[in-house]
Amino acid sequence: MNRNELARIARAMVVKGKGILAADESTGTIKKRFDSIKLESTEEYRRSYREMLFTTPGVAETISGVILYDETIRQKTKDGVPFPEYLTKLGIIPGIKVDTGAKPLAGYPGETITEGLDGLRERLVEYSRLGARFAKWRAVIDIADGIPTQFAIDANAHALARYAALCQENDVVPIVEPEVLMDGGHSIERCEEVTEAVLQSVFNQLAAHRIYLEGMVLKPNMIISGKKAANRAPPEVVAESTVRVLKRRVPAAVPGIAFLSGGQSSEEATLHLSLMNKLGPLPWALTFSYGRALQDAALKAWGGKNFAEGQKAFAKRARLNGLATTGQYTADMERQAA
């Protein structure tokens, strides 16, 4: 393990003013996105869409890293340059999603365990050769009657830590992503309780697996009311609750926290991040690792053929989120031209 290199990459991933583009949608997920714009999900359309995002003028000014999918890391620009090589030349760090998805946890109805540890050591060697400098693994924790159980929390935390250890063994920075879903009608207080329990278990397991904290990035959910909650907490409460939990459970040695958007609207995710950064000074950088919240407007504007409009929409969203990493974003910026 090269600790200096792991720490250098991790810090570069969470540098102020920039964030991470999650472009690691599985083939099934991107098909759903393309269905929403009535576009067939062919390999060429998927390649072209990702190229539209990656070649956006000035993208390196607001995007520090890109999470790729197995198909995408092997694809090239129309000029024949492999995507990881193209991104690296821009100063953007290529990463790779390595888990194989959340599957039902046997004996625990309604709960899941993320799979993908089998063969991971060998896959990390290949992905590193292809240009990946960081990886991502997502654990999924749902809130409903009687769940999550402590067993499901601990099982997922253990898998996250095993993954992180294998990454660092191969000089790949692990993004550790324990996501407490915002589906359902639970209160923000319930989300806070569960998220705190999850982060406690995750960092206990990371310590047990001897993870070098300076060489990782945390990708958590925000503390937020369930989508179906009768009284959803306002943005200021989301920001305060999230920072409170992070201060309790995330060691200061972790260089940065890159939030997932988790079903929030693009505007919500940006505002919440900006409000959190206004609560500083904080021991870690707070940034974004958004998928839909960065891509939705760009996907619609692109529509399968319009590169320029898609790039304009993506550039605006990335710029606004970059401002949010320094607490400078305000909602009225949404109405301004890109």
The whole-angstrom separation of Cα 201 and Cα 97 is 22
Is the model's pLDDT at 338 over the cut of 60?
no
According to the CATH classification, is domain 3-335 in 3.20.20.70?
yes
Which residue of the set 177, 192, 312, 316 is catalytic?
177
Can you give the pLDDT at residue 337? 54
Can you give the pLDDT at residue 223? 98
Q: What is the pLDDT of residues 193-212, one digit of tens each?
A: 999 999 999 999 999 999 99
Can you give the pLDDT at residue 181? 98
Q: What is the pLDDT of residues 218-245, one digit of tens each?
A: 999 999 999 999 999 999 999 999 999 9
Can you give the pLDDT at residue 280? 86
What residues contact residue 18 under an 8 Å CB cut-off, 6+ apart? 61, 62, 63, 64, 287, 322, 325
Give percent above pLDDT 90 in the chain. Answer: 98
Establish whether 219 is a catalytic residue.
Answer: yes
Is the model's pLDDT at 332 over the cut of 80?
yes
Can you give the pLDDT at residue 229? 93
The pLDDT confidence band at residue 124, using thresholds 50, 70 and 90, is very high
Asked if 72 contacts 23 with a C-beta cutoff of 8 angstroms, the reply is yes
Can you give the pLDDT at residue 27? 93
Establish whether 177 is a catalytic residue.
Answer: yes
Can you give the pLDDT at residue 120? 98
The whole-angstrom separation of Cα 291 and Cα 261 is 7
What's the whole-number average pLDDT of the chain?
A: 97
Q: Are strands 173-180 and 217-218 parallel, antiparallel or unpaired?
A: parallel
Which residue of the set 97, 219, 312, 316 is catalytic?
219
The predicted model scores a pTM of 0.97
DSSP-derived secondary structure letter, 76 = B
The whole-angstrom separation of Cα 108 and Cα 106 is 6
Q: What 3-state DSSP class applies to 180?
A: strand
Q: What is the pLDDT of residues 286-317, one digit of tens each?
A: 999 999 999 999 999 999 999 999 999 999 99
Can you give the pLDDT at residue 335? 85
